[in-house]
C-alpha cells in the first residue's frame, strides 16, 4: 500500500477506503491541541498566539513538526465567536485558555443587542489569516477549522441557567437567538474554508444530552448544528459532543456529519452500533494524556483501535500541562496497526 500524506489518509478514512493506519488528530477549538511544553519549545506562547496569526499558525505547525498530531487545528479556544458577538473575554495566560467573563445579554429576547460577527476584524480575522499561512506551507497536513456549537455559544451570550429556562418557557425567542448564531457561524465557517481549511469541526460542550435532555438535544443541538453543517461545503465535517450519550444514542445518527467525536466515558464499540454510517473518532482520555505514563497511553490507543475507532483523537481538549512525550506516543501507537478497513 503506497504511503499517504496525513491529509490523504484522513480523506481516505472519511470515504471508508482502506489505509495504512488510522489518522491521529486533535481538531483544535474547544478540543485544544497545544500545551505548555510545545509553546516553550517553539517560543509561540499564549496568550499572544491567540491574537497573532503568525504565532497561531506557528504554534499549530510546531506541534506537528515535533511528532505531534497529524493535523493543524486553530484556534486554541472556544471564545472567538462569542467575543465577536459581544461577550467580554479574559485572554488567559500561558496555562489557561481564554474564557468569557461577561455575557452581553440578560435574556435571549434581546438578540438586537448582539453585534454580527465580522470576518475582517478581531480574533475572527486572526483565525482566518492563520489558516491562510498554514495553507501556504503546502505540507500535506490537513488543516482543521473550528466552530463552537450553537448551543454552547448561546450559553455564553446568555447565562446558561437562564437560557435553559427560556428554552422551555419561550422557545420562539430562544430560536431567534439560535438563528442569529447559526448565520454568524456559517459566515465564519465559510471564511475558514475559503482560507484553506480541509475540515470543519463543531464542538458542543453545552449542547449535550446530559444538559438538554433528549427532546431539547434534538430540537436545539442537532437542529442548529445541522443548519450550520448543511450550509458548508468542505471535505470533512466533524461533530464533537461532550459527556455521556446514553440518553441520546439513537439521536446521534441525525447529525449531518462525516465524523463523530465523543467523550472518554462513551464506549467506542457501543457508539459504533448506533452510527454505522458515520466515522468514529476518539476517544483517548485527556486525563491519561496529561498525567499517565507513555505505556498507559499506548495501551489506551491500542484499545480504541481494537474496539473500532476509525480516527484516534483525544476525548476533549488537552490540558496545558500535557507532556509532549504522551502526544508523540499517542501518534506513534497508531503506526503499530498495519491495515484499517
Range of the structural domain that residue 311 is part of = 25-333
| Percent of the chain with pLDDT strictly greater than 90 | 93
Assess if residue 339 is contained within a domain: no
Mean pLDDT for all residues in the chain: 96
Question: For the segment 17-51, what is each residue's pLDDT rounded down to a tens digit?
Answer: 999 999 999 999 999 999 999 999 999 999 999 99
Assess if residue 259 is contained within a domain: yes
pLDDT for 171 beyond 90: no
Assess if residue 303 is contained within a domain: yes
* Cα–Cα distance measured from residue 186 to residue 324, given in angstroms and rounded to the nearest whole number: 34
Q: Residues 6 or more apart from 34 whose CB is under 8 A from it? A: 49, 59, 60, 63, 76, 318, 320
- Taking the C-alpha atoms of 53, 128, 310 and 69 in order, what is their torsion angle to the nearest 10 degrees? -10
pLDDT (mean) for 70-88? 98
Assess if residue 7 is contained within a domain: no
What pLDDT is recorded for position 3?
87
pLDDT for 68 beyond 50: yes
User: Which residue from 322, 314, 325 is spatially nearest to 23, judged by alpha carbons?
Assistant: 314
Tell me if the bond preceding 276 is cis, omega within 30° of 0. no
What pLDDT is recorded for position 196?
99
In this prediction, residue 336 has a pLDDT band, given cuts at 50, 70 and 90, of confident
Assess if residue 16 is contained within a domain: no
pLDDT for 83 beyond 60: yes
Q: Are 277 and 306 in contact (CB under 8 A)?
A: no
What pLDDT is recorded for position 2?
56
Going by the DSSP 8-state scheme, the letter that residue 272 receives in this structure is H
In this prediction, residue 337 has a pLDDT band, given cuts at 50, 70 and 90, of low
- Which cell numbers hold the place of 165? 429556562
| Percent of the chain with pLDDT strictly greater than 70 | 98
Number of DSSP helices (H) and strands (E) in the chain, helices first: 16, 9
Could you give the number of structural domains in the chain?
Answer: 1
Assess if residue 308 is contained within a domain: yes
Among the residues of the chain, which ranges form H helices? 6-14, 36-42, 48-51, 53-65, 80-85, 122-137, 150-157, 160-169, 171-195, 209-216, 223-231, 249-252, 268-274, 286-291, 294-306, 324-334
What pLDDT is recorded for position 254?
98
pLDDT (mean) for 287-313? 98
99-102 and 88-90: which strand pairing?
antiparallel
pLDDT (mean) for 114-134? 98
Rounded to a whole number of angstroms, the CA Rg of the chain reads 19
Q: Are 238 and 23 in contact (CB under 8 A)?
A: no
What pLDDT is recorded for position 267?
96
What pLDDT is recorded for position 341?
43
What pLDDT is recorded for position 256?
99
Assess if residue 218 is contained within a domain: yes
The domain spanning residue 118 has which CATH number?
Answer: 3.20.20.210
Question: For the segment 176-202, what is each residue's pLDDT rounded down to a tens digit?
Answer: 999 999 999 999 999 999 999 999 999
Q: Is the pTM of this model over 0.75?
A: yes
Assess if residue 10 is contained within a domain: no
Cell match 468542505: residue?
Answer: 234
Question: For the segment 237-265, what is each residue's pLDDT rounded down to a tens digit?
Answer: 999 999 999 999 999 999 999 999 999 99
Amino acid at each position: 500500500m503506497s504511503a499517504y500524506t496525513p491529509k490523504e489518509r484522513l480523506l481516505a478514512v472519511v470515504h471508508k477506503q482502506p489505509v495504512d493506519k488510522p489518522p491521529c488528530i486533535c481538531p483544535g477549538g474547544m478540543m485544544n491541541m497545544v500545551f505548555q511544553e510545545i509553546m516553550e519549545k517553539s517560543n509561540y506562547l499564549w496568550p499572544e498566539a491567540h491574537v497573532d496569526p503568525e504565532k497561531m499558525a506557528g504554534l499549530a505547525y510546531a506541534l506537528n513538526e515535533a511528532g505531534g498530531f497529524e493535523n493543524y487545528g486553530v484556534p486554541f479556544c472556544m471564545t472567538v465567536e462569542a467575543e465577536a458577538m459581544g461577550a467580554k473575554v479574559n485572554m488567559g495566560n500561558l496555562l489557561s485558555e481564554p474564557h468569557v467573563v461577561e455575557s452581553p445579554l440578560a435574556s435571549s429576547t434581546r438578540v438586537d443587542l448582539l453585534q454580527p460577527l465580522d470576518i475582517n476584524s478581531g480574533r475572527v480575522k486572526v483565525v482566518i489569516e492563520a489558516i491562510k499561512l498554514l495553507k501556504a506551507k503546502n505540507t500535506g497536513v490537513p488543516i482543521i477549522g473550528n466552530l463552537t456549537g450553537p448551543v454552547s455559544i448561546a450559553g455564553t451570550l446568555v447565562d446558561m441557567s437562564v437560557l435553559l429556562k427560556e428554552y422551555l418557557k419561550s422557545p420562539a425567542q430562544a430560536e431567534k437567538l439560535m438563528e442569529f448564531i447559526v448565520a454568524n457561524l456559517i459566515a465564519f465557517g465559510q471564511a475558514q474554508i475559503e482560507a484553506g481549511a480541509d475540515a470543519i469541526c463543531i464542538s458542543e460542550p453545552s449542547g449535550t444530552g446530559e444538559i438538554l435532555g433528549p427532546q431539547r438535544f434534538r430540537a436545539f443541538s442537532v437542529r442548529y448544528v445541522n443548519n450550520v453543517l448543511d450550509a458548508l461545503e468542505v471535505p470533512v465535517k466533524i461533530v464533537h459532543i461532550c459527556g455521556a450519550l446514553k440518553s441520546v444514542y439513537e439521536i446521534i445518527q441525525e447529525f449531518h456529519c462525516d465524523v463523530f467525536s465523543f467523550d472518554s466515558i462513551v464506549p467506542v464499540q457501543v457508539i459504533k452500533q448506533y452510527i454505522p454510517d458515520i466515522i468514529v473518532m476518539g476517544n483517548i482520555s485527556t486525563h491519561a494524556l496529561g498525567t499517565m505514563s507513555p505505556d498507559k497511553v499506548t495501551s489506551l490507543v491500542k484499545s480504541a483501535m481494537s474496539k473500532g475507532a476509525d480516527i484516534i483523537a483525544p476525548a476533549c481538549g488537552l490540558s496545558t500541562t500535557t507532556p509532549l512525550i504522551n502526544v508523540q506516543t499517542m501518534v506513534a501507537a497508531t503506526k503499530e496497526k498495519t491495515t484499517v478497513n
